[in-house]
Structure 1
Amino acid sequence: MAQELATLARQTADRLAEEHVGVVVAAVADGAVEIRGAGSTGTREGRTPGPDTLFEIGSVTKPFTALALARLASAGTAGLDEPLADLLPAGTAVPSRDGRQISLEHLATHTSGLPRLPRGTLRPALLGRTKADPYAHCTADSLLSGLARTRLGAVPGKRFRYSNLGAGLLGLALAHRAGTDYESLITREICAPLGMTDTVVTVDGARSGRCAQGHARRGRPVPPWHLADLAGAGALRSTASDLVAFVRAQLDGGPEGLAEAIRLSRTVERRTSPFAWVHLGWMAHRLHPRQGAHLQIWHNGGTGGFSSFVGFDPEKRLAVIALGNTSRRPVDGPAFDLLRTLQQERASAPH
């Protein structure tokens, strides 16, 4: 199986490298892991990216934020149904609708009614038309001031509407409740228990030499994004090795304490269509029976210079990770193809 896994990971990396400056692909099947890189980190040295190359993972940060919520909820430090307002500084005005307040679960499942973006975010930058970091202005003061002037598009809990603002506010609120900053919260609650030493918001000097350079669609180098206090929506950097540890915990349950939080995160389920739903922080769907009816739980991400994907099947104990250092070239398609191939092969294997 290991040889076949390595071949499939290599083929997917090579396929992605046709549209990305550099990529890393990881394939996980039970206890076997194969990680393959292709292309270039885009740095002066121009090395092929590998297991320990750091990438911006964008919205793949959101499952970390939601798992931190589940961790605090399991410990009794916060409640899924607790109002967002209870975790923010006293006097913060939080919008409601029809008498319904925004809860932490609403934020983690994109059912808060909040808009996709904070007030004042530069839409041209999000569309890749400028070099600006569209979230650089998102300090806590700016976010909470804008929140007070935000109208909800739906009654909280009633409708799925993907929201970077909601995920960022969740990270900000959880850090405030824990008396720390977002990065320290994620390190303490998730990364340290799993031995993930390279999943960070701020890259120090020791790690800087292992960072991939981000690129715009046509291969132009672009500066990194820093999401300020909207960090919970997409500020993490990580490596394929660390993300393998993260998905293995999703497949195996993780260490005591974290295992309870993982179970809780997947117990919560909000339907988005007859075939798809969201858990805390994760998207999920089941393929059509003609495609094998396989379960796929996943999240993707993108920043000004990077694309990312993490997907897994807890029923068959399979996972795929793909990281690329080019924006506007999603890694999702080939990554989903690889996950589906692994699922089909597992289903057809003799028992």
Structure 2
Amino acid sequence: MAQELGTLAQQTADRLAEQHVGVVVAVVAEDVVEIRGAGSTGADHSRTPGPDTLFEIGSVTKSFTALALARLVSAGTVGLDEPLGDLLPDGTAVPSRDGRQITLQHLATHTSGLPRLPRGMLLQALLRPSKPDPYADCTADALLSGLARTRLGATPGNRFRYSNLGAGLLGLALARRAGTEYETLITREICAPLGMTDTVVTVDGTRSKRSAQGHGRRGRPAAPWHLADLVGAGGLRSTATDLVAFVRAQLDGGPAELAEAIRLSREVEHRTSPFAWVHLGWMAHRLHQRQGAHLQVWHNGGTGGFSSLVGFDPEKRLAVIALGNTQRPVDGPAFDLLRTLQSEHAAMPN
């Protein structure tokens, strides 16, 4: 089985490498893990990327932020229905609509009504479309000042509207309540219990030598992204090895100290269509009967030079992780691989 999984992972990595400078693909099938790489890290110490190569994981970060929320809820530190304003500095103006306030659950399920980007960023993107580090100025002061002048596009809790602003504010608010900063919060609440040592915001020391160089869509080197205080929306770097540990906790329920939070994160559900919904930090859908009716829970990510996807089937204990150091989505081949695993698993005798 391991040999077959390794072959499938390598085939997907090779397929992705046709349009990416370098990629790593990991496959998890129950207790078997296979990780394969293709292409190049693209840095001065260029080599084939592998299990311990660091990539910017972009919006996959949101799954960590939401799990940190669930951890703090299970510890009684915050409440899912607690208003965002209760976790922000006194005097912060938080928009509401129809008498309903934005709660932490709204932020984690993209149902807050907040726009996708912080106030002023869309105009900035139009004026400076090639700005190499577009979120670098998103300090807490800038975010909270803009929040006071933001209008909600829907009543909180009513409608799914993907929001980097909302996820970033959630990370900022949780760190404030925990009395620390975001990176320490994620390390303490998630990475330490799972033995993940390479999921970080700041890359330094020996990790810099293991970091892939990002590339734009045309293969030119791209500057790294720094999300300042919006970091909870997409500022983490990680490796295939760490993300395997993260997704295996989703498949197996995790260690005792994380089990309640993982369960809570998937118990919360907001329907976006008859066949799709969102959990705390995860998208989910069930394929059509003609495709096997398999369950897929996932999140993807993209920055100026990287792309990523983590997808899994908790019913069959299968997962796929794809990490690329090019600004081209890895979603298609990654989902194809997950469907292949699901179909082959369904065909196996009990």
TM range (shorter): over 0.9
Give runs of aligned pairs for residues 160-199 of structure 1, distance below 5 A.
160-199=160-199
1:49 aligned partner: 49
Give 1:316's aligned residue.
316
Q: Distance in 2 between matches of 1:306 and 1:70?
A: 27
Residue 278 of structure 1 aligns with which residue? 278
Q: How many residues align?
A: 350
- 1:11 is matched by which residue type in structure 2? Q
Q: 1:146 to 1:128 in 2, by over 3 A?
A: closer
User: Is residue 302 of structure 2 the alignment partner of residue 333 of structure 1?
Assistant: no
Q: Which residue of 2 aligns with 1:94?
A: 94
Report the secondary structure of 2:256's partner residue: coil
Q: Deviation per CA, 1:133-191, whole angstroms, max 9, x where unpaired? A: 11011000000000000000000000000000000000000000000000000000000
CA distance in 1, matches of 2:100, 2:170: 17
Counterpart mapping for 1:1-351 below 5 A? 1-121=1-121, 125=125, 129-327=129-327, 329-351=328-350
Deviation at 1:125, TM superposition (A): 5.0
Q: Deviations over 1:73-118 (max 9, x none)?
A: 0000000000000011111110000110000000000000000000
Residue 44 (structure 1) shift? 1.5
Q: Mind listing any 5+ residue stretches in structure 1 that lack a counterpart? A: none
More moved, 4-13 vs 127-136: 127-136
The answer as to whether partners of 1:123 and 1:134 remain within 8 angstroms in 2 is: no
Contact 1:125 1:132 in 2 (8 A): no
Query: RMSD value over aligned CA atoms?
Result: 1.2
Residues 126/339 of structure 1: CA separation in 2 closer, same or farther (3 Å cut): farther
Distance 1:86 1:345, change over 3 A: same
Percent identical pairs in the alignment equals: 85
Q: After superposition, what is the alpha-carbon deviation per residue over 1:37-83, rounded to whole angstroms, capped at 9, x for unaligned? A: 00000012220000000000000000000000000000000000000
Contact 2:45 2:209 in 1 (8 A): no
- Report the AA paired with residue 341 of structure 2: L
Q: Is the contact between residue 118 and residue 143 of structure 2 (CA under 8 Å) also seen in structure 1?
A: yes
Matches of 1:123 and 1:301 in 2, distance apart?
A: 23
C-alpha distance in structure 2 between counterparts of 1:126 and 1:23, whole Å: 30
Moved over 2 A (4+): 122-129
Tell me by how many angstroms 1:121 deviates: 1.5
Q: Is the 8 A contact 2:12 2:337 kept in 1?
A: yes
1:257 is paired with a residue whose SS is helix
Q: CA deviation at 1:120?
A: 1.9
TM-score (norm. length: structure 2): 0.98
CA contact (8 A) 1:36 1:50 kept: yes
Alpha-carbon separation, structure 1, partners of 2:230 and 2:103:
18
Contact 1:312 1:339 in 2 (8 A): yes
Could you tell me how far 1:292 is from its partner in structure 2? 0.3
Cα separation, 1, equivalents of 2:82 and 2:303:
31
Distance 2:132 2:240 in 1: 27
- Note closer, same or farther for the CA distance 1:128–1:42 as it changes in structure 2 (3 Å cut): farther
Rounded Cα–Cα distance in structure 2 between residues aligned with 1:122 and 1:39: 34
Q: CA deviation at 1:129?
A: 3.9
Asked whether the equivalents of residues 43 and 212 of structure 1 are also in contact (C-alpha less than 8 Å), the reply is: yes
The AA in structure 1 aligned to 2:56 is E
Quick one: distance in 2 between partners of 1:222 and 1:45? 16
1:273 and 1:127, CA in 2 relative to 1: closer, same or farther beyond 3 A? farther
The whole-number CA distance in structure 1 between the counterparts of 2:124 and 2:213 is 22
Q: Is the 8 A contact 1:55 1:212 kept in 2?
A: yes
